[in-house]
């Protein structure tokens, strides 16, 4: 857990630093998505600080990629729809409509989360990172570059979700084995069949991110 | 003399190529992997309205009343349209009944829910696996008999009979089906998710009575198609009508996942009882198949003509096929339409025959290669695949797989496909400042089309790939065919080659005098126009283009499928062989992919990197359909039970094992020209995986997908032992 996590209210309970599909889904629940309702984490739900004034639109503020966005949404609006329909932040895709495929993955307080099963109002006060926040065509992230190198994309519709999931995975698991990777990215689906490239890309990115960290550390020392 | 000769469009000799044949990263890869690529489902112009579709929950019903007043009262709703009014008959679940548009997606969805429809439910059929229950919904095609199958079966040394089935599966494109439409006076702009940029405008126009000339289509990226995204569809038409009724404002409709899985296309099923015989040496002598399938209400789907698949020349054959009409969404082209099913049924029957003869199926497939249309190709591919699979070491007699609970097995599948280039036009422009653009009304499905167009232009013009500005995805560009049937790469590479050769010839003619020579003595190499054999005399590309003064060069090139065969730039007709290597836990029934080995004809490969990705992807799709995918319908209630991605299962990154691709890049293959690779590698995998499971556990699991319950049931049927 990074230092900044400790400042966040409703800090999720510590979980193992590796991601399983079960853990991934559980993480979604803890973050206040639909899945949490009385099923997985009733306690976390009860502690939610979101004031629900619905069914009409309520003003909310979302901290996305370090910027505060003020908007009005109905309490039922998912974070995914708030990003795509209100803010035109569209790297996260809506594909399965129900927390299965991972195309809508964003990072909330350092954890990969399905934004289609997270309500926008519940994402208030949390640090939301989308792909646009850490990778742009002008300054592509190491994972983005590795996806290009290993042709880990075809139609590209699942790709942003995979890159975001890969970042959250590598942030928690900087020295992954192939087996770690297969479990860690098990919460995302691709239809074109780009998994072979994704495996290679994420392993390459892990190496590069690690050596970049070492280089940075050396420079500071 | 050189001025009057036909331009030389031929691909440069392999050894001379600087760009073609070298792996190049896809041009839009960074855009896609940084989330900057905008799909039409991502765009949201000012004032855009959200459209939504009301679907029928019943498999077969008549609308008796429809009341839209509740929907019209919802704040933000701009239009409500009835598609199926009272008296209209709905023929499958999920079919469109009404549509709405509203200022927010929530309001649109509320409005759909507020529409009250009363139905009279009608009799339905939603399952076809038991043809005995299909009644008059089953329509048999005529029997085809060749030779004397009865006599051949009587005289055969070995005969095997088996039942096989492969269910309906869906395309499940991750970007759902849909698009956005806006009107400006009598002009329409259409932003679809389509495999058919040049043609879809006309399709929409016919439905809304607007000439194609007044419809502008634009699409930068498409999130998956696989054969399901050619027409404008009713949802495109509804978006247009809702927009018109809302003052022309853009209306965007993308189907929700449930509706997409129900009505936006699927691959027909195939079931069959197959009898096949051989002489004492394992030569196949007779074939008899009784197959049936459904492609939805129209029946359709499979054709009897595909049997026996690849091994076409079995001398004695009796073939019967029955189409079953069901109240389910209509089938669409699905990456190699009907070939996976035919391959699965045929190769399963051959493998079972081999097991009965206690022969190595590799030998049987090889021994009968003369029954295919391309004996040499299949022989060499079978041998190559076997070598890569280490077949001789790893294969064992069926069921002879050790005493532990986990059994390993190998299996073979074969395939064939056409794949010659489609009709395509390209406009290549060289500007006086040296910039180059190539324009085609084509689309990049993720296959890397954009990139190979740039590579062909770069090769011809002696420029780096980055110097080519590829413009595709717009109906104002010269028309290029829809992307289906593995025809795109052949079509666009040939038209681009011709257009750029034509443009270069014009440039060489313009600069030849200043180099004191004739155009035929010049060539474009490494950003320079040089005199052949005399590098001291040259101009940089930019200096050469400046000689054009204020006049750009703009030349067309066309691939015409009628004349293409004699031009030799592209071709069709490919063979493919795959070998699957699986492990099956006989206690849990779970199948684990170890390896899938894919050996395919590839012709001239423009970009090995994306060609390999095509094969990886196709193999993974086969793992999905062999082990996971099935549209499950319930005949009691007439519903599809799994129209969602939780229970309509696709393979994840941990499920696919290793995939080994062999691209046979050789001078001999290269001479054939460019061949499409989209469908061919999607064909043999189902058969190979099914056969590998049978080899592992010693008994055929008749129906795909090979789920744990089916494995256990098959084991139980033979006495519980592997």
If you average pLDDT over residues A164-183, what whole number do you get? Answer: 97
Higher per-residue pLDDT: B482 or B721: B482
pLDDT at B720: 44
Does residue A15 register a pLDDT over 70? no
Nearest to B683 by CA among B166, B282, B305, B284: B166
Of the partner residues B104, B445, B653, the one whose CB lies closest to the CB of residue A155: B445
pLDDT at B202: 98
Same domain, B687 and B592: yes
Same domain, A51 and A119: yes
Beta bridge partners of B598: B578, B661
How many structural domains does chain B have? 3
The domain boundary, picked from B254, B289, B318, lies at B254
Contacts of B446 in chain A (CB under 8 A): 153-156, 192
Does residue A50 register a pLDDT over 60? no
Same domain, B702 and B628: yes
Q: Is residue B324 situated within a structural domain?
A: no
Q: Is residue A105 situated within a structural domain?
A: yes
Q: Which residue's structure tokens are 């590209």?
A: A156
pLDDT tens-digit series, residues B299-343 = 877 888 899 999 999 999 999 999 999 999 999 999 999 999 999
Same domain, B582 and B712: yes
* Mutate which: B31, B102, B174, vs A, most A CBs within 10 A: B174
Same domain, B358 and B489: no
How many structural domains does chain A have? 2
Instruction: With CB atoms and an 8 Å threshold, state whether A96 touches B645.
Output: yes
Same domain, A65 and A81: yes
Beta bridge partners of B98: B54, B82
Whole-model pTM: value is 0.93
How far is C-alpha B62 from the chain's CA centre? Answer: 35
Does residue B688 register a pLDDT over 90? yes
Of the partner residues A95, A130, A154, the one whose CB lies closest to the CB of residue B613: A154
Contacts of A28 in chain B (CB under 8 A): none
**What range does the domain containing A76 cover?**
18-131
If you average pLDDT over residues B194-202, what whole number do you get? Answer: 98
Same domain, A189 and A167: yes
Q: Is residue A4 situated within a structural domain?
A: no
pLDDT at A52: 52
pLDDT tens-digit series, residues B602-613 = 899 999 999 999
- Average pLDDT along chain A: 83
Q: Is residue B449 situated within a structural domain?
A: yes
Q: Is residue A11 situated within a structural domain?
A: no
- Average pLDDT along chain B: 96
Taking the CB of residue A218, how many other CB atoms lie within 10 A of it?
8
Q: Is residue A63 situated within a structural domain?
A: yes
Of the partner residues A95, A130, A196, the one whose CB lies closest to the CB of residue B174: A95
Contacts of B644 in chain A (CB under 8 A): 96-98, 100
If you average pLDDT over residues A17-29, what whole number do you get? Answer: 43
Instruction: With CB atoms and an 8 Å threshold, state whether A153 touches B42.
Output: no
Same domain, A23 and A127: yes
CB B455 within 8 A of CB B389: no
Residues 23-62 of A with CB under 8 A from B: none
Q: What span, in angstroms and rounded, lies between the C-alpha atoms of B191 and B446?
A: 18
Q: Locate the chain A residue with the closest alpha carbon to B661.
A: A196
Same domain, A121 and A146: no
Residue B393 corresponds to which tokens in the numbers above? 């070491």
**What range does the domain containing B68 cover?**
49-123+177-254
CB B224 within 8 A of CB B265: no
pLDDT range class, residue A47, cuts 50, 70, 90: low
Same domain, A24 and A122: yes
Please tell me if residue B29 touches chain A, with a CB cutoff of 8 Å. yes
pLDDT tens-digit series, residues B88-117 = 999 999 999 999 999 999 999 999 999 999
Q: What percent of chain B has pLDDT over 90?
A: 95
CB A194 within 8 A of CB A186: no
pLDDT at A43: 45
If you average pLDDT over residues A66-93, what whole number do you get? Answer: 97
pLDDT at A48: 55
The domain boundary, picked from A86, A106, A131, lies at A131
Q: What span, in angstroms and rounded, lies between the C-alpha atoms of B311 and B332?
A: 26
Same domain, A147 and A112: no
Same domain, B414 and B424: no
Q: Is residue A221 situated within a structural domain?
A: no
pLDDT tens-digit series, residues B382-429 = 999 999 999 999 999 997 888 899 999 999 999 999 999 999 999 999
Contacts of A84 in chain B (CB under 8 A): 42, 44
Q: How far B682 CA sits from the closest chain A CA (Å)?
A: 11
Q: What span, in angstroms and rounded, lies between the C-alpha atoms of B177 and B118?
A: 27
Same domain, B111 and B232: yes
Same domain, B670 and B579: yes
Nearest to A137 by CA among B559, B211, B36, B252: B36
CB A19 within 8 A of CB A112: yes
The domain boundary, picked from A102, A131, A160, lies at A131
Same domain, B429 and B387: no
Residue B189 sits in a domain of what CATH number? 3.90.1170.50
Same domain, B474 and B490: yes
Instruction: With CB atoms and an 8 Å threshold, state whether B224 touches A186.
Output: no
Does residue B177 register a pLDDT over 50? yes
pLDDT range class, residue A42, cuts 50, 70, 90: very low
The H or E element that residue B318 is part of is strand B316-324
Q: Is residue B32 situated within a structural domain?
A: no
- Give the single-character DSSP code of B308: S
Segments of B13-105 assigned E as strands: 49-55, 61-67, 77-82, 89-90, 96-102
Q: How far apart are the first and last CA of chain B?
A: 75
Q: Is residue B600 situated within a structural domain?
A: yes
Does residue A40 register a pLDDT over 50? no
The domain boundary, picked from B234, B254, B274, lies at B254
A211-215, A217-221, B33-37, B379-383, range with the lowest pLDDT: A217-221
Residue A197 sits in a domain of what CATH number? 1.10.150.120
Of the partner residues A96, A141, A196, the one whose CB lies closest to the CB of residue B257: A96
Q: Is residue B602 situated within a structural domain?
A: yes
Same domain, B77 and B210: yes
The domain boundary, picked from A131, A165, A189, lies at A131
The domain boundary, picked from B254, B283, B303, lies at B254
pLDDT at B304: 85
Residues 100-129 of A with CB under 8 A from B: 100-101, 103
Sort strands B187-192 and B178-184 into parallel, antiparallel or unpaired. Answer: antiparallel
pLDDT tens-digit series, residues B228-280 = 999 999 999 999 999 999 999 999 999 999 999 999 999 999 999 999 999 99
Same domain, A176 and A199: yes
pLDDT at A218: 62
Q: Is residue A3 situated within a structural domain?
A: no
Q: Which residue's structure tokens are 């003369």?
A: B370
Task: For chain B, give the longest Cα–Cα distance.
Answer: 87
If you average pLDDT over residues B424-451, what whole number do you get? Answer: 98
Q: Is residue A108 situated within a structural domain?
A: yes
pLDDT tens-digit series, residues B112-146 = 999 999 999 999 999 999 999 999 999 999 999 99
Does residue B4 register a pLDDT over 60? no
Q: How far A72 CA sits from the closest chain B CA (Å)?
A: 12
pLDDT at B561: 96
Q: What span, in angstroms and rounded, lies between the C-alpha atoms of B703 and B164?
A: 6
Residue A39 sits in a domain of what CATH number? 3.10.20.30
pLDDT tens-digit series, residues B357-368 = 999 999 999 999
A19-28, B18-27, B63-72, B671-680, range with the lowest pLDDT: A19-28
pLDDT range class, residue A86, cuts 50, 70, 90: very high
Does residue B491 register a pLDDT over 70? yes
Q: What span, in angstroms and rounded, lies between the C-alpha atoms of B442 and B425?
A: 9
pLDDT at A6: 36
Please tell me if residue A161 touches chain B, with a CB cutoff of 8 Å. no
Residue B452 sits in a domain of what CATH number? 3.30.365.10
Please tell me if residue A167 touches chain B, with a CB cutoff of 8 Å. no
pLDDT at B444: 98
Rounded to the nearest 10 degrees, what angle do helices A195-220 and B608-627 cross at? Answer: 120
- ∠ Cα A85 B450 B202 (to 5°): 70
Instruction: With CB atoms and an 8 Å threshold, state whether A194 touches B613.
Output: yes
Q: In chain B, how many H helices and how many E strands?
A: 19, 31
Check: complex ipTM more than 0.90: yes
Q: What span, in angstroms and rounded, lies between the C-alpha atoms of B141 and B582?
A: 37
Q: What span, in angstroms and rounded, lies between the C-alpha atoms of A89 and A68?
A: 13
Same domain, B619 and B540: no
Does residue A51 register a pLDDT over 90? no
Same domain, A22 and A116: yes
Please tell me if residue B213 touches chain A, with a CB cutoff of 8 Å. no
pLDDT tens-digit series, residues B548-595 = 999 999 999 999 999 999 999 999 999 999 999 999 999 999 999 999
Gyration radius from chain A CA atoms: 17
Same domain, A61 and A92: yes
Please tell me if residue B172 touches chain A, with a CB cutoff of 8 Å. yes
Q: What percent of chain B has pLDDT over 70?
A: 99
pLDDT tens-digit series, residues B39-57 = 999 999 999 999 999 999 9
Q: Is residue A1 situated within a structural domain?
A: no
Q: Is residue B293 situated within a structural domain?
A: no
Of the partner residues B36, B39, B650, the one whose CB lies closest to the CB of residue A136: B36
Q: Is residue B97 situated within a structural domain?
A: yes
Same domain, B605 and B547: no
* Mutate which: A79, A160, A193, vs B, most B CBs within 10 A: A193
pLDDT tens-digit series, residues B146-162 = 999 999 999 999 999 99
Q: What span, in angstroms and rounded, lies between the C-alpha atoms of B629 and B706?
A: 9
Q: Is residue B463 situated within a structural domain?
A: yes
């Amino acid at each position: 857990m990074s230092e900044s996590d400790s400042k966040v209210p409703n800090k999720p309970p510590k979980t193992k630093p590796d991601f399983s599909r079960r853990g991934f889904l559980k993480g979604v629940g803890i973050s206040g998505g639909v899945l949490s309702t009385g099923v997985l984490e009733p306690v976390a739900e009860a502690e939610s600080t979101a004031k629900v004034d619905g069914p009409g639109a309520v003003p909310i503020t979302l901290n996305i990629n370090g910027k505060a966005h003020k908007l009005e949404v109905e309490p039922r609006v998912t974070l995914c729809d708030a990003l795509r329909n209100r803010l035109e932040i569209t790297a996260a895709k809506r594909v399965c409509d129900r927390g299965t495929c991972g195309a809508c993955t964003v990072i909330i307080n350092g954890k990969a989360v399905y934004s289609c099963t997270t309500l926008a109002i519940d994402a208030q006060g949390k640090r939301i990172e989308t792909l646009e926040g850490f990778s742009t065509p002008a300054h592509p992230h190491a994972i983005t570059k590795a996806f290009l190198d290993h042709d880990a994309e075809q139609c590209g519709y699942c790709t942003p979700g995979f890159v975001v999931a890969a970042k959250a995975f590598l942030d928690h698991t900087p020295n992954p084995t192939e087996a770690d990777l297969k479990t860690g990215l098990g919460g995302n689906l691709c239809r074109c069949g780009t998994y072979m490239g994704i495996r290679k890309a994420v392993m390459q990115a892990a190496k590069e991110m690690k050596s970049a960290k070492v280089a940075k550390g050396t420079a500071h020392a | 003399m050189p001025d009057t000769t036909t331009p030389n469009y031929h691909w440069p000799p392999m050894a001379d190529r600087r760009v073609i044949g070298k792996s190049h990263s896809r041009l839009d890869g960074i855009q896609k992997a940084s989330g900057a690529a905008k799909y039409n489902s991502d765009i949201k112009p000012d004032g855009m309205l959200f459209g939504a579709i009301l679907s029928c929950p019943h498999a077969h019903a008549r609308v008796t009343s429809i009341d839209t007043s509740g929907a019209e009262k919802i704040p933000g709703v701009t239009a409500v349209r009835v598609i199926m009014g009272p008296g209209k008959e709905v023929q499958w679940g999920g079919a469109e009944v009404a549509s709405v548009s509203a200022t927010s997606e929530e309001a649109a969805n509320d409005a759909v829910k507020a529409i009250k429809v009363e139905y009279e439910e009608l009799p339905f059929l939603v399952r076809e696996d038991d043809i005995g229950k299909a009644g008059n919904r089953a329509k048999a095609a005529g029997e085809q008999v060749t030779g004397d199958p009865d006599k051949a079966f009587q005289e055969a040394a070995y005969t095997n009979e088996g039942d096989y089935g492969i269910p309906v599966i869906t395309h499940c494109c991750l970007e759902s089906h849909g698009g956005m439409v806006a009107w400006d006076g009598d002009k329409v702009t259409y932003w679809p998710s389509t495999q058919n940029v040049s043609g879809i405008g006309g399709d929409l126009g016919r439905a809304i009575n607007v000439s194609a000339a007044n419809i502008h289509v634009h699409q930068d990226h498409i999130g998956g198609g696989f054969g399901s995204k050619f027409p404008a569809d009713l949802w495109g038409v509804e978006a247009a009508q809702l927009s018109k009724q809302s003052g022309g404002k853009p209306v965007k409709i993308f189907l929700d996942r449930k509706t997409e899985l129900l009505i936006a296309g699927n691959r027909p099923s195939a079931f069959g009882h197959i009898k096949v015989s051989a002489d004492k040496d394992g030569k196949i002598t007779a074939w008899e198949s009784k197959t049936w399938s459904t492609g939805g209400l129209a029946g359709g789907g499979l054709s009897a003509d595909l049997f026996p698949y690849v091994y076409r020349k079995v001398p004695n054959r009796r073939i019967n096929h029955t189409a079953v009409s069901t109240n389910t969404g209509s089938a669409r082209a699905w990456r190699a339409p009907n070939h996976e099913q035919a391959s699965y049924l045929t190769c399963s029957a051959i493998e079972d025959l081999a097991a009965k003869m206690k022969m190595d199926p590799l030998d049987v497939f090889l021994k009968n290669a003369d029954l295919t249309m391309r004996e040499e190709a299949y022989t060499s591919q079978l041998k190559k695949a076997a070598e890569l699979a280490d077949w001789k070491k790893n294969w064992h007699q069926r069921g002879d797989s050790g005493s532990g609970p986990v059994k390993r097995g190998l299996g073979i599948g074969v395939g064939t496909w056409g794949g010659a280039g489609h009709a395509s036009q390209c406009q290549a422009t060289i500007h006086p400042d040296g910039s180059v653009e190539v324009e085609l009304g084509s689309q990049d499905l993720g296959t890397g089309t954009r990139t190979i167009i740039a590579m062909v232009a770069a090769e011809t013009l002696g420029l780096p790939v980055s110097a080519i500005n590829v413009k595709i995805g717009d109906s104002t560009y010269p028309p290029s065919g829809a992307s289906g049937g593995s025809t795109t790469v052949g079509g666009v590479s040939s038209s681009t080659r011709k257009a750029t050769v034509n443009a270069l010839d014009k440039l060489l003619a313009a600069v030849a005098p200043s180099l004191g020579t004739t155009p035929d003595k010049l060539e474009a190499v490494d950003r320079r126009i040089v005199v052949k054999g005399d590098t001291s005399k040259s101009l940089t590309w930019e200096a050469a283009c400046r000689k054009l003064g204020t006049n750009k060069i703009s030349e067309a090139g066309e691939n015409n499928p009628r004349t293409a065969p004699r031009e030799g730039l592209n071709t069709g007709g490919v063979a493919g062989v795959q070998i699957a290597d699986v492990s099956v836990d006989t206690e849990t029934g779970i199948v684990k992919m170890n390896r899938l080995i894919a050996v395919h004809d590839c012709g001239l490969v423009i970009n090995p990197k994306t060609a390999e990705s095509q094969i990886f992807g196709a193999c993974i799709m086969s793992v999905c359909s062999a082990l996971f995918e099935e549209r499950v319908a319930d005949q009691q209630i007439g519903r599809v039970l799994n129209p969602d991605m939780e229970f309509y299962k696709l393979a994840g990154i941990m499920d696919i094992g290793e995939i080994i691709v062999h691209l046979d890049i050789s001078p001999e293959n290269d001479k054939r020209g460019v061949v499409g690779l989209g469908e061919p590698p999607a064909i043999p995998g189902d058969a190979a995986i099914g056969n590998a499971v049978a080899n592992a556990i010693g008994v055929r699991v008749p129906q795909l997908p090979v789920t744990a319950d089916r494995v256990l049931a098959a084991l139980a049927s033979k006495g519980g032992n592997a």
